[in-house]
Structure 1
């Protein structure tokens, strides 16, 4: 009986260890998002990284277009603004706790262990935080905001892929307010 409980507990720990998305969003709960069909971009101020700015804009455009929205400069239903920030990834202590179970013949056992890693050398990883704002054109007010972040070691292909995934994750929550629940990724 004890063994079954421990197996169930271990399975729950494994499910809890699944990586969940960091996407955060907020929206006007009284706004009717079903009327939104067309959009245009607001020019964003230079943030010192034109490569990231262009990748983010291109991914927002392709994601919104794939969702059925149409880019239209004049008389659009909503405008899109975005911003991003790159910061150093905090160094971690490397402390981890593990739980294991096992059997040998008719005997079972449970083990708990800890380990601590000591960071050697520099931690050159960075975090890119991206925020996307949706603004009602007629009322000129914010109606939806989504934010997510990703870690990266260097630019290039890795950053292109992570930027695309992050924008997809952010805009997966737009515009349907009823779908704004976090889903674990395993």
Structure 2
């Protein structure tokens, strides 16, 4: 009976630990973030990102939405500059499955895995993306906040915008306002 009471709690922990975007942030604790009201993107930094122009637009749109929701205004004469970096790496997953003809042949020093029956391997690849969002003081281009989000990228075209928005939202969640 006690086990049934623990199952919802265990499911909550499992769901919380399976966040699809892992985030790390850092900032200059001596900066008073409430003094900043406007922002702009660093054009030369955004132009250097090695992703498609469509994905760039998606990222910039998502950042615009998040910063506007936090009360910031896009400006030609900004208090803050937003710079971006991206990276991606291929992850190869190899899984081996055994058909199993029983528990194997017992030996005094352990089980013999060769007696487990025929097996097969499944190989799949996925892409893990990393998005860095840097926030700099416009006056002196000093880095004052940095957020990093990493997670698997969407493979279906229809899910790209949703996935990019999730990355940006998670990274900017802790941005002070």
TM-score interval w.r.t. the shorter chain? 0.7 to 0.9
Distance in 1 between residues matched to 2:76 and 2:96, nearest whole Å? 50
2:14 alignment partner in structure 1: 17
Look up the match of 1:175.
176
Q: Which runs of 5+ in 2 are unaligned?
A: 98-118
Question: Going by fraction, where is strand more abundant, 1 or 2?
Answer: 2
The Cα of 1:94 is off from its aligned counterpart by 8.1
Residue equivalent to 1:133: 134
Q: C-alpha distance in 1, partners of 2:22/2:135?
A: 19
The structure in which a higher percent of residues are helix is 2
Name the residue aligned to 2:56. Answer: 53
Counting matched residue pairs gives 150
Rg larger for? 2
Judge conservation of contact 2:63–2:168 (CA < 8 Å) in 1.
yes
* Alpha carbons of structure 1 residues 119 and 175: separation in structure 2 relative to 1, 3 Å: farther
Q: Which moved more, 1:42-51 or 1:132-141?
A: 42-51
In 2 relative to 1, CA 127–119 (structure 1 residues): closer, same or farther, beyond 3 Å?
A: farther
Whether contact under 8 Å (1:86, 1:127) holds in the other structure is yes
For residues 119 and 129 of structure 1, do their structure 2 counterparts lie closer, same or farther at Cα, with a shift above 3 Å needed?
farther
RMSD (CA atoms):
2.5
1:105 aligns with none
Runs of at least 5 residues in structure 1 that lack an aligned partner in the other structure: 96-116, 177-186
1:62 to 56, 60, 65: 65
2:37 is the counterpart of 1:42: no
Report the counterpart of residue 153 of structure 2 in structure 1.
152
Higher alpha-carbon deviation: 149-158 or 58-67: 149-158
Distance change (3 Å), C-alpha of 1:90 and 1:34: farther
1:34, CA displacement in angstroms?
0.6
Task: Supply the distance in 2 between the matched residues of 1:65 and 1:157 (Cα, whole angstroms).
Answer: 25
